[in-house]
Structure 1
């Protein structure tokens, strides 16, 4: 698989010719929203086996081979050139497809309102072949330990058909807000806690959930140990049923990090007790804040490098957003940015005829445009380059895989790059 970034005056025809592909294959692979109006800086995947490398100044077969995990001799043989031949800048070298490691992938799907939109169900159906887990969001707990079910519709059937483990996501929300008081009750009132666990077991058996996933956030710092005790108790209960147990964790960079989102999350304890964790490495750029990358890789790296000092790396799913935001400038506190999919972001750039730029520190694309009302906007989103950078980090840190928040916003390049980089583990039956 090749990632190509559109340059000025390029067309699909010239790009296809460069990589021995076809216009139709490129359009279909990327579900291109703008095939006749490509944007300078737009990243696309070219659906070929292996990929091409264009030699840069100072590179040799040996440095290129090291970058791609192969040998100079193999590259020389494949490209039919002498192994010690000096390389001309711009020379196109074919890089064979490398060995792929196994990895696990989860995606949350969040129905809203009173019905499941057909488009959301279709998004789950299209993503499921690339997933290990499918996670309807979410079961909410009442203060008496009873459960309020989310809209499930065909999600259990989709999971079964694609050998996904159906993940039972449970959180401590009340009226769509995380509640520290609800958390306090569930973690400290043993009678309610036992009723809560009994209700989980009954419901999981009813629908076929095989991973119980606790997304408890905004807990009181005083409940840190109570949360750990609860997880030990829950793990023993679910283990008897043959189920997995996982948790969602706030993105910390130290054990002593302050704040209600962080202090009750004990990375070391979760790493010991849970089968795996999802670390929510996104929302640095968020709808209520100033414009910036949603999951800048330098910040993501800091969190994950800390995490692997506290728990086994093969228990960690990196959290990843499937969306970006469109902010109105200048940023005003209290304003809300609009969520956009990668496809919608590209359409915006094409409609306003502005180039897409790439922040190399954050490893994220962005652009600015002036809307019809005259207001300036800034958009940060994800593309093939930014997600490949995250996949490279998964390999570097030997993580378990990736967890997506959330299905329903189109990002076709992501799914193609999963199978180009990894063998997706299937745990379902």
Structure 2
């Protein structure tokens, strides 16, 4: 089902060997040039009527902004079962702020394709997470009640199936208050038949330090939400040193910690639908990686004659190339790394996986899950 390209391979040769038509290999893998294959490239090979079923029947979901191209969103169906619309915000007074673009078309698209749409609530202010909004919210009952009342009205009016709460950089002193707020939202939503999930930063111990994790209590949030989404990505990130975005060994550590505090059937794994391109040498505080799509990453490798490697521990593809005399390194995801992550979902009996995010094409991923 997954074929790794070798030197000298051609699509015609792979087609003769496997019996799968060239046109289908091109379409399923979104190959921009049928005459160019990259050594080390992983191809998804499915015959007519054949399905991947890598998800093992577990739910797949993904986040998307309302300005996503309808064609790219459409590629995610039918395996997509939960669509998380990013995002609603709120003011210091607890007034709900809708996304700048209309979200109703996404709600309708989800239902029409057998998926459930969820409103995502974030403490966004000026394009960034604002933990002062969280501080004020969790410290004032009347502000919470106002926000929850408006959220419920919006869910009912827009046709959402529930709410996903994504608060990041929660202050340590707001840890208990934040978990309590999630519980209040859940009770209000459950009473009317809606579900509540909460997104949490990747964490491996109760004593772990860092602004992303100190305000996040896995056990308390697990008790107060219907579903907990593990944001298991961004080890490799824009300003960090080059490495896999979601190395499997690191992701496993988070899952092991999470299942010890939250029932596995409540947990959803996070999978990145992107990679990063770093110029070398990496200089801390200076180097800024460029975000690339997974299909785009293979196209860059083809353009510069790179050979794609596969890291056995991180279970992630990577390669280097030269552009204008400068060395680059790219880490991304392919069908091999996706299959490995879904292997964790099944091994730990999690409820499924959600993708951050759906904004870039990756048809092979969705065919792998179908």
Deviation at residue 48 of structure 1 after TM alignment: 3.0
- Taking a change above 3 Å as real, the CA distance of residues 100 and 282 of structure 1, as seen in their structure-2 partners, is closer
Looking at structure 1, the residues matched to 14 and 344 of structure 2 have their Cα atoms a distance apart, in angstroms, of 28
2:234, 2:246 within 8 Å by CA — same for their partners in 1? yes
Looking at structure 1, the residues matched to 32 and 341 of structure 2 have their Cα atoms a distance apart, in angstroms, of 24
Structure 1: 5+ residue stretches without partners: 52-95, 420-429
1:161 aligns with 2:116: no
1:183 aligns with 2:134: yes
Secondary structure of the structure 1 residue equivalent to 2:213: coil
Deviation at residue 43 of structure 1 after TM alignment: 0.4
* Structure index of larger Rg: 1
Secondary structure of the structure 2 residue equivalent to 1:184: helix
Output the aligned Cα RMSD.
Answer: 1.8
Q: 360, 363, 366: which one pairs with 1:412?
A: 363
Deviation at residue 98 of structure 1 after TM alignment: 8.7
Looking at structure 2, the residues matched to 243 and 291 of structure 1 have their Cα atoms a distance apart, in angstroms, of 41
Could you tell me which residue of structure 2 aligns to residue 139 of structure 1? 88
1:348 aligns with 2:300: yes
Q: Deviations over 1:350-407 (max 9, x none)?
A: 1111111111111111111111x21111111111111011111111111111110111
Deviation at residue 272 of structure 1 after TM alignment: 1.9
Could you tell me which residue of structure 1 aligns to residue 12 of structure 2? 13
- Taking a change above 3 Å as real, the CA distance of residues 153 and 236 of structure 1, as seen in their structure-2 partners, is closer
Structure 2: 5+ residue stretches without partners: none
Alignment of 1:207-226 (within 5 A): 207-226=158-177
Q: Deviations over 1:162-202 (max 9, x none)?
A: 12111010011211111121101111111111111111011
Aligned residues: 367
Alignment of 1:356-375 (within 5 A): 356-371=308-323, 373-375=324-326
Looking at structure 1, the residues matched to 166 and 289 of structure 2 have their Cα atoms a distance apart, in angstroms, of 25
1:206 aligns with 2:161: no
Deviation at residue 49 of structure 1 after TM alignment: 7.9
TM-score (norm 2): 0.95
- Taking a change above 3 Å as real, the CA distance of residues 50 and 355 of structure 1, as seen in their structure-2 partners, is farther
Secondary structure of the structure 1 residue equivalent to 2:75: helix
1:269 aligns with 2:217: no
- Taking a change above 3 Å as real, the CA distance of residues 329 and 97 of structure 1, as seen in their structure-2 partners, is closer
Could you tell me which residue of structure 2 aligns to residue 122 of structure 1? 71
Deviation at residue 342 of structure 1 after TM alignment: 1.3
Could you tell me which residue of structure 1 aligns to residue 57 of structure 2? 102
TM-score (norm 1): 0.82
Looking at structure 2, the residues matched to 321 and 223 of structure 1 have their Cα atoms a distance apart, in angstroms, of 28
- Taking a change above 3 Å as real, the CA distance of residues 404 and 98 of structure 1, as seen in their structure-2 partners, is closer
1:140, 1:173 within 8 Å by CA — same for their partners in 2? yes
Looking at structure 2, the residues matched to 307 and 22 of structure 1 have their Cα atoms a distance apart, in angstroms, of 43
Could you tell me which residue of structure 2 aligns to residue 426 of structure 1? none
Looking at structure 2, the residues matched to 97 and 265 of structure 1 have their Cα atoms a distance apart, in angstroms, of 36
Deviation at residue 10 of structure 1 after TM alignment: 0.8
Could you tell me which residue of structure 2 aligns to residue 92 of structure 1? none
1:33, 1:346 within 8 Å by CA — same for their partners in 2? no
Looking at structure 1, the residues matched to 149 and 98 of structure 2 have their Cα atoms a distance apart, in angstroms, of 15
Looking at structure 2, the residues matched to 418 and 239 of structure 1 have their Cα atoms a distance apart, in angstroms, of 30
